[in-house]
Amino acid sequence: MYREAYVISSPLRFGGMEKSRQKALISILGVPLDSTASFRPGQRFGPLHVRAVSPELESNAYAADGYLEEVPFFDEGDIAVSHGDVAETLERISRVVQELLAEGKRIALVGGEHTITVGALKGAKAFGLRPCLVVLDAHLDLRDDYLGVRFGHASTFRRALELLGEVPIVYIGSRAFVREEIALAKSRPNIMLLTPRSIESLGLANVIGSARRALSECKKVYFSIDMDVYDPAYAPGVGNPEPSGLSPREVLPLLSSLVDERFIGVDVVELSPPYDAGGVTAVLAAKTLQEVLISFSIKAR
């Protein structure tokens, strides 16, 4: 089993809860990778810090009507990252994700840099799924390469498009890009951009409605949450902070509304603890994952 070969047990558990693996619907995996970090590294410490702060949060969701102790999840531990060899690490993620999906689990990855999403999607495709994507991110991550690196955090969704084809991608909160990326996004009818200004002008309820319509034909949905989708006032400890982001009062209801029974996985990435004053970003990352887990558990019932 790839899980036994590539997953290392962690001394900490998300939420501080020891749960039954056999009864779990969701498997949590830490991925301590920051090999392609281009600005502020330290994402490899993200899984540890999210787990460390998570037991100190109250177990209720913000927007969903539920509690973490009611969620059937199991914290598997951390992927054994091959530092400096991104391709090998992505292959390990892929194999473990494919194996867990085959067991009927949903996946929750805690990063780590955004490159890990490619490994998760590769595993989903190997299992026979081509999920639609909901991406909460300050950036589009659609560069063909960045400084010559094609498998890096700035190219995550360029590789995803190559891997999955023309699946619907709904970006929420994106506000930073180069000409190459925005030109590509605007040329693809499968890509929807819902920026912070969209929320300002249309209102949160209308943005949620637009996203739901874009996902209406999807059979499976994967969520990718870069912590820099939040404004740096709320999440200073990220790899590439960008001003004018979203607030938790916007992101958490969005997630609660969009996560449903079609959910197959989520990643929460780009927490960089060395830059996280007071640990506030780690707390928000833990709350964000908590909201997703509870929202899915309610819909799955």
Write out pLDDT tens, residues 164-178.
999 999 999 999 999
Distances (CA, A) of 184 to 131, 142, 288: 20, 8, 29
Residue 24 has pLDDT above 90, yes or no: yes
| CA distance linking residue 269 with residue 289, whole number of Å | 10
pLDDT confidence of residue 146: 85
Write out pLDDT tens, residues 214-263.
999 999 999 999 999 999 999 999 999 999 999 999 999 999 999 999 99
Query: Domain limits at 48?
Result: 2-300
Q: What is the mean pLDDT of the chain?
A: 96
Number of folded domains in the chain? 1
Share of the chain above pLDDT 70, in %: 100
Q: Do residues 97 and 47 lie in contact, with contact meaning Cβ atoms separated by under 8 Å?
A: no
The single residue listed with the structure tokens 């909201």 is 291
Residue 137 has pLDDT above 90, yes or no: yes
Q: Select from 73, 22, 72, 24 the least CA-distant residue to 51.
A: 73
pLDDT confidence of residue 180: 94
pLDDT confidence of residue 148: 83
- Return the exposure string of 213-240: e unless at least 16 CB atoms fall within 10 Å of the residue's CB, then b: ebbeebeebbbbbbbbbbbbebbbbbbb
Residue 275 has pLDDT above 90, yes or no: yes
- 3-class secondary-structure state, position 31: strand
CATH no. for residue 93? 3.40.800.10
pLDDT confidence of residue 1: 80
pTM (two decimals): 0.97
Q: Do residues 93 and 115 lie in contact, with contact meaning Cβ atoms separated by under 8 Å?
A: no
Beta pairing, strands 263-269 & 106-111:
parallel
**Least confident among 123-127, 151-155, 193-197, 217-221:** 151-155
**Which pairs with CB-CB distance under 8 Å and at least 24 residues apart come from 208-213?**
208/253, 208/254, 208/257, 208/258, 211/134, 211/170, 211/172, 211/254, 211/258, 212/257, 212/258
